[in-house]
A and B are shown apart, each in its own frame.
Chain A
């Protein structure tokens, strides 16, 4: 990880941010072995599963006839992952990783499963990371700036996801409010969500019953989560807030385990990688925690 100095030189800051981002990109690929491990565990089950309406990335494989789609997708993803984690600077391997992840996710999704979406988006954006030049330092500065721009775009894709999640909650809440229905602003709104979800999945959660009996707690939590989600995109212009935002979202996901018994493990890893360990940080932040005087608009790195 980069260790920032207090220098005001944008070039030094750019170089440090780049080094940090480069390591995080490699970690992005290495962390995917965690999913592959799960894929290997479920391999046999996936082979036997009936797929009535396969997603388009795996649909064509049914007609190929050489290998079972499941086998092809897992082998392809494994190979792409080995190469992309070792040589994350090679665009071809990043491209193959994107294709592999898309196939692998399609096997698991069937229809809607949100485990993979964010990883697919980031994997897609990382294809655009530039190739490293070997000549002049001027070119290297430009290269680093492009690299960080793409990294920032990957962060933006995640922030957009969360902003959209917040937006639809407000959108539906106002719609239901206008129609005189129970809505997200209602005192018992979240209690209904919890009861409905736990009954549907026949699951229990540590705080589920408590929230149903004490709706004020759920109401507070849900209002906070909605607002936090809606305003996520603003973090793009305040990089020093990225770790705080990342940790807040991780806490929100942990809260969803405690209340509605829904896990978002893959998103937690991504939030940790891209935001809690953000390359756009100051040394002071890392040492002293949040220092609001240092909150800046836009990452001031670059040429």
Chain B
């Protein structure tokens, strides 16, 4: 009987410990994940009508010119990792961290923009827009952070 209660106590301690850890991690350190612990804050925090978003716009690809440039997710498969990478890239540019910027550009170019055949020209931009208006098709201006070109 003692052993059974000890096991229950152990299980309870593990669960409580993990729960408190993720809560502290998010509230005090603004960190969502220390793998495999995750705070599970999915779909919380409603997007505000006025939103800023870092994005990659494709200007040219394999001889085709896009005017105005189009968002990468209209040409390539989009994942949350890709969005995270672009956000990190924008932060690296803002913090003037060339090492991190180089690593992230390599990641984006080799993993996410690899679908082109010969040539691609793209912009790293920061957009500010109203979510609902953009959904309805209103085109917004953007700030260009970087312009890059790749040849195969």
Q: Interface on A for B, CB 8 Å cutoff?
A: 49-50, 52-53, 55-57, 102, 105-106, 109-114, 116-117, 120-121, 125, 128, 130, 142, 145-146, 149-150, 152-153, 156-157, 160-162, 164-165, 168-169, 171-173, 176, 181-184, 186, 189-193, 195-196, 198-203, 212, 260, 303
Q: Interface on B for A, CB 8 Å cutoff?
A: 1, 3-4, 7-8, 10-12, 14-15, 18-19, 22-23, 26, 32-33, 35-36, 38-49, 51, 53, 71, 73-74, 78, 80-81, 83-84, 103-104, 106-107, 110-111, 131-132, 134-135
Chain B residues closer than 8 Å to A113, beta-carbon distance: 80-81
Please state if B107 and A50 are interface contacts (CB–CB under 8 Å). yes
Please state if A260 and B43 are interface contacts (CB–CB under 8 Å). yes
Please state if B103 and A192 are interface contacts (CB–CB under 8 Å). no
- Separation in Å of the B79 CB from the closest CB of chain A? 8
Chain A residues closer than 8 Å to B32, beta-carbon distance: 112
Among B40, B111, B132, residue most surrounded by chain A Cβ atoms (within 10 Å) = B40
Main secondary structure of the interface of A (DSSP, over half): helix
- Separation in Å of the A34 CB from the closest CB of chain B? 19
Main secondary structure of the interface of B (DSSP, over half): helix
Please state if B132 and A192 are interface contacts (CB–CB under 8 Å). yes
Please state if A49 and B111 are interface contacts (CB–CB under 8 Å). yes
Chain A residues closer than 8 Å to B11, beta-carbon distance: 125, 128, 149-150, 152-153, 156
Chain B residues closer than 8 Å to A168, beta-carbon distance: 26, 39-42, 44
- Separation in Å of the A113 CB from the closest CB of chain B? 7
Question: With A168-B40, A172-B41, A196-B47 known to touch, is A153 a contact of B35 (CB < 8 Å)?
Answer: no
Question: With A105-B36, A146-B7, A169-B43 known to touch, is A199 a contact of B131 (CB < 8 Å)?
Answer: yes
B106 nearest in chain A by CB position: A50
- Separation in Å of the B102 CB from the closest CB of chain A? 10
Please state if B15 and A192 are interface contacts (CB–CB under 8 Å). no
Please state if B41 and A145 are interface contacts (CB–CB under 8 Å). no
- Separation in Å of the B27 CB from the closest CB of chain A? 9
Known: A112-B38, A112-B84. 10 other contacts (CB 8 A): A55-B35, A121-B36, A128-B7, A153-B11, A156-B15, A164-B22, A192-B131, A193-B43, A195-B134, A201-B78
Please state if B40 and A176 are interface contacts (CB–CB under 8 Å). no
Please state if B44 and A50 are interface contacts (CB–CB under 8 Å). no
Chain A residues closer than 8 Å to B80, beta-carbon distance: 112-113
